[in-house]
Structure 1
Amino acid sequence: MKWQMREIIEAIQPVDTVKGNDVQAYLHTLTKPKGSLGRLESLAVQLGEITSNSFPVVYPPAIIVFAADHGIAAEGVSSYPQEVTSQMVHNFLEGGAAINVLAEQIGAMLQTVDVGICSSIDNEKLVMKKIRNGTANFLYEDAMSKKEAVDAIEVGMDVAIKLIQDGAKCIIPGEMGIGNTTSSSAILAVLSQSNISSVVGAGTGISEEQRKHKEEIIQRAIMNRKPNQEDVLDILAKVGGLEIAGMTGAILGAASKKIPILVDGFISTVAALVAVKLCKHVKDYIIIGHQSEEKGHQTAVEMLESKPILDLQLRLGEGTGAAFAFPLLNSSVKILQSMATFSSAGVTENET
Structure 2
Amino acid sequence: MIIGCPKEIKNNENRVALTPGGTLELVRRGHTVYIQKTAGMGSGYSDEDYIDAGATMLDTIEEVYAKSETIVKVKEPIEVEYPLVREGQLLFTYFHFASSVPLTKAMIASKAICLAYETVEAPNGSLPLLVPMSEVAGRMAIQQGARYLEKPAGGIGILLGGVPGVKPAKVVVLGGGVVGLQAAKMAAGLGAQVILMDISLDRLRYLADILPANVRTVYSSEYNIRKELSTVDLIVGAVLIPGAKAPHLITRQMLSEMRDGSVVVDVAVDQGGCIETCVPTTHENPTYVVDGVVHYCVANMPGAVPYTSTIALTNATFPYLLQLAEKGWERATAENAGLAKGLNVVRGEIVYAPVAEALGEA
| TM-score tier after normalising by the smaller chain length | under 0.3
- Which structure is higher in helix share? 1
- Please report the TM-score for the alignment, with normalisation by the length of structure 2: 0.26
- Please report the TM-score for the alignment, with normalisation by the length of structure 1: 0.27
- Which structure is higher in strand share? 2
Higher RCO, 1 vs 2 (CA within 8 Å, ≥6 residues apart): 1
